[in-house]
Structure 1
């Protein structure tokens, strides 16, 4: 069984790795965190009304309405994070933006 110093060292290492992962995640965002939060709100409202058609249709509409230029880059980023359609953006990607997310 590890001693007290080893336990503390492991806790600190884990904390440091999480902090590094958060920084890397923030640096990987193709648009601002604030725009992503707005996207999640938009999807939440519109999916309740229109449902999901297994595409990124609503996401694309939001990006176009907000005159965001790098739409393909954003869609590819979402796909890498498990956002294959609008409802998956909410189910898989939104949780990555929570304060206690494990990245």
Structure 2
């Protein structure tokens, strides 16, 4: 494997710094609540490869104008179904498992 160029290193560092300063739409309290809800629902019902439970929680806990933005943010983190929200978003949201 070849060594990264100076420009590649700068680009990676810039990307890392931006991720460290990322401000998320959901507060940590709301994220924890969403994750707890998903854990309970997915213990009862297998993931159907949709954001069914995530959308349900968002509709019950957020103003309608924020829902689309939160879903876009979740997609950016690799959450395309309820189980992926749990698997991929803990680390991105910097939340310890519940």
TM-score, normalisation: structure 2: 0.71
Runs of 4+ in 1 over 6 A off after TM superposition: 17-20
**Larger Cα-atom Rg:** 1
- In the TM superposition, residue 92 of structure 1 has moved relative to its aligned partner by 0.4
Number of residue-to-residue matches in the alignment: 81
1:80 shift after superposition: 0.5
| 1:67 positional shift | 3.7
Structure 1: give runs of 5+ residues left out of the alignment: 1-13
Partner of 2:31: 36
Corresponding residue for residue 82 of structure 2: 86
Cα distance in 2 for partners of 1:51, 1:31 equals 25
Matches of 2:73 and 2:53 in 1, distance apart? 16
The answer (yes or no) to whether the contact 2:50–2:82 under 8 Å persists in 1 is yes
Report SS of the residue matched to 1:82: coil
RMSD: 2.2
Instruction: Provide the TM-score with structure 1 as the length reference.
Output: 0.68
Q: 1:47 aligns with which of 42, 50, 53?
A: 42
Alpha-carbon distance in 1 for matches of 2:78, 2:19: 17
Cα shift readout 1:6-55 (whole Å, capped 9, x = no counterpart) = xxxxxxxx9xx977643x22x1x112111011101110110110110101
